[in-house]
Amino acid sequence: MASEVETTELPLHNGANGKAETQVFNSEADTNGSDTKTENFESNDGPVGAREIDNSNEKETIESNDGPVSVVEEPRRPLRSSGSLEQYKQKDLTPEIGTEFPSANLVEWINASNADELLRDLAIMISERGVVFFRSQSNLTNDLQKDLIHKLGVLTSKPVDSTLHIHPILNSERELGGSDPEVSTISSAQLKKYHSKSRFQKHKTQTGKLNWHSDIPYEPVPANYTLLRLTQLPETGGDTLWASGYEIYDRISPPYQKFLESLTAKFAPPGFNEFAKQAGFDLYDKPRGSPANVGSVIEAVHPVVRTNPGTGWKSVFPIGHHIDRINDVSEEESKALLEWFLRLLVENHDLQVRFKWEGENDVAIWDNRSFFHTATFDYEGYGERFGYRTVGIGEKPFYDPKSTSKSEALAARVGKGEVDV
């Protein structure tokens, strides 16, 4: 997608009560043909799905007992950076995941004459490196934060009707929830108020592995990018960790990869309705950043192996406490697969990065489509932790059989003399 593009016009952020503006930028064309045909496609062990071919865009639908769950639209090329961020001081925190800009200012990028180029390259870096960090962004307001996270998606061709997520629980209708439905407050005080008797507030546990997750995968159209800015920090503790789904996929043998690519999973938030009932409020059932994300029955079916549209790389997607089960296998097999995915994450610390929040207005931005994160609840008695989170809505998750693993893609770049790995 780097150079073969067409000019298109998409809306900028449409706030909860505002009108959408428009911006012209370069993007691949997105057309919908009307003449289609369907044919079966097979693995070595027999048919695993159906292929719907469109004259203008090739589409593939993966079927499960829960119905079609993913569509691939062609042509779809991975995005490539223009190199505009190379002028800024940066450091990779690990070989596989996490990059920090220790002195860059996001508001300056937002207001720069080449803002679109800078922010598009930032979005690409986030999708490749998983999470990008900035220090002391004191002039980044909630409104600018919202516009930034939405624009990262717009500049990388997210659907026109995808805006910003409104959390079913953590929103402005809650005490300590702030005044903007599209900005969730991350508050230790709020957590204590609503969860003081729940298992999520036990600071001394034998395992913290169940806290790993990606943001809102239970929505039919889930998150792409999340931005978290902390404005109040404890004296110590409260670190956040991220892990790479690309690396998890890469550590699975090719025959097993193929098997997983034929599967889907049911995602659902654990105990949302029960929690809302106990706390005395209703879930937010109006559109939550997409017309598809609506209603009080919150669940979705997505591919087990998901292709990130920004990179074209494959990732294992169902990891964390928002997954109900793997479809079309037995309950025992589903449990074993989910436990195995999580074990691959927690037992391989070289695919993780741990970030220490050092000062007010430190910022992390990450890609939920291929990466997972967890907070560290070790700061009881050391002060409160508070911040503002904005979650962008992306596209419906899909698996593209023509996509590659991260290792294959980087090896191909090395073969072309493009990068050193």
- Looking at residue 213, the DSSP 8-state letter turns out to be B
Q: What's the topology of domain 82-415?
A: Double-stranded beta-helix (3.60.130)
Domain spans of the chain, in order of start: 82-415
**pLDDT > 90? residue 205:** no
Least confident of 18-22, 23-27, 258-262: 23-27
Check residues 5 and 388 and name the one with the higher pLDDT.
388
Which token pair is 356?
Answer: 């220490």
How distant, in Å, are the alpha carbons of 166, 240, 393, 413 from that of 390? 9, 16, 10, 33
Average pLDDT, the chain: 84
CA nearest to 226, candidates 235, 216, 234, 218: 216
pLDDT of residue 70: 61
106-114 average pLDDT score: 99
For residue 223, is pLDDT > 90? yes
State mean pLDDT over 42-62.
Answer: 41
Inter-CA distances, 99 with 89, 116, 363, Å: 11, 20, 12
Please give the backbone phi and psi of residue 399, each rounded to the nearest 5 degrees, phi first. Answer: -115, 125
pLDDT value at position 179?
80
Share of the chain above pLDDT 90, in %: 66
Residue written as token pair 């920004």: 310
Structure token digits, residue 357? 């929040």
d(CA 413, CA 419): 6
Torsion of CA 185, 188, 190, 194, to 10 degrees: 130
- Predicted confidence at residue 47, as pLDDT, reads 38
Asked if 212 contacts 320 with a C-beta cutoff of 8 angstroms, the reply is yes
For residues 211 and 110, the model is more confident at: 110
pLDDT of residue 195: 61
Our CA angle for 292, 297, 301, nearest 5°, is 60
Query: Which residues partner with 43 through β-bridges?
Result: 46
pLDDT score for 16: 42
Question: What band does 77 get if pLDDT is binned at 50, 70 and 90?
Answer: confident
* CA-wise closest residue to 310 among 156, 419, 182: 156
pLDDT for residue 54 is more than 60: no
- Amino acid present at 139: N
Token duo for residue 26: 């370069």
Tell me, what's the pLDDT at 7?
A: 33
Q: How far is CA 139 from the centre of its chain?
A: 25
Cβ-proximal residues to 151 (8 Å cutoff; 6+ apart), any chain: 12, 13, 119
Q: What is the pLDDT of residues 164-182, one digit of tens each?
A: 999 998 666 666 666 899 9
With 60 as the cut, is the pLDDT of residue 56 above it? no
Distance CA 288, CA 280 (A): 21
Q: Which residue has the higher pLDDT, 275 or 378?
A: 378
Instruction: Specify the higher pLDDT residue, 132 or 44.
Output: 132
Give the chain's length: 421
Query: Would the pTM of this model clear 0.85, i.e. be above it?
Result: no
Confidence of residue 190 (pLDDT cuts 50, 70, 90): confident
Question: What's the confidence (pLDDT) of residue 25?
Answer: 31
pLDDT exceeds 70 at position 93? yes
Q: What pLDDT, on the 0 to 100 scale, is given for residue 280? A: 76
Contact between 361 and 136 under an 8 Å Cβ cutoff? The reply is yes
Tokens of 261: 């690519």
> pLDDT confidence of 281, banded at 50, 70, 90?
confident
Range ranked top by mean pLDDT from 43-47, 205-209, 246-250? 246-250
Q: What is the spatial distance between Cα 123 and Cα 310, in angstroms, rounded to a whole number?
A: 8
Q: Is the pLDDT of residue 210 over 60?
A: yes
Q: Which long-range contacts (CB under 8 A, 24 or more apart) does 166-170 make?
A: 166/16, 166/284, 166/286, 166/287, 166/288, 166/289, 167/216, 167/284, 167/288, 167/391, 168/269, 168/272, 168/276, 168/283, 168/284, 168/285, 168/288, 168/298, 169/272, 169/275, 169/276, 169/283, 169/284
Local structure of residue 115 (DSSP, 8 states): H
Alpha-carbon gap, residue 391 to 401, rounded angstroms: 28
Confidence of residue 55 (pLDDT cuts 50, 70, 90): very low
Give the pLDDT confidence score for residue 13 in this predicted structure.
Answer: 42
